[in-house]
Homo-oligomer: A and B are copies of this chain.
């Protein structure tokens, strides 16, 4: 028996591109690698797309870390962890993942999650974000921030980080 490898995909609940397309592709690739997917679990934006991508793959496992009982849960979430801790659940997502992949960090919730990941000394792969976000987080991230140009590259970096 050994514990499963876990990747968190974080990002906004809005339907913004390319974040949502990236998230769907990342979810699929994570599942194909046999990793467990963790997201914020809501039926919206990056969370929804990532879970749907993962569930295209047979045998995938998707865990949603929900803010409270009222949140609408993505039907593509296999197991819903109801935290009732609101935005503080962002800290649970990053603490529970081996690697965190951020699809854009322009959303304050996602920005908080990247910052909490750095505080917890978890590696973060950032995909498709603004120059300002990249400059800020690389500046405070002391080697933990990795910039990826595509979902495939984000997964390749994640694999290296988990094997390392």
Residue ID in chain B nearest A119 by CB atoms: B108
CA distance A115 to B136 in the complex (A): 13
- The smallest beta-carbon distance between A139 and chain B, in angstroms, is 5
Task: Check B55 against A82 for contact (C-beta < 8 Å).
Answer: no
Task: Check A88 against B84 for contact (C-beta < 8 Å).
Answer: yes
Taking CB atoms, residues of chain B closer than 8 Å to A113 are 112
CA distance A55 to B136 in the complex (A): 34
**Does A91 sit within 8 A of B, measured CB to CB?**
yes
Interface of A is mostly: mixed
Q: Of B1, B61, B81, B111, which is within 8 A of A115 by CB?
A: B111
Taking CB atoms, residues of chain B closer than 8 Å to A91 are 84-88
CA distance A85 to B84 in the complex (A): 6
CA distance A2 to B74 in the complex (A): 10
Beyond known contacts A83-B95, A84-B92, A88-B88: 9 more, CB 8 A cutoff:
A3-B78, A6-B79, A69-B120, A82-B95, A84-B87, A85-B86, A87-B91, A112-B115, A133-B140
Report A's interface with B, CB cutoff 8 A. 1-4, 6, 36, 55, 61, 63, 65, 68-69, 73, 75-88, 91-92, 95-96, 106-109, 111-113, 115-116, 118-120, 130, 132-133, 135-136, 139-141
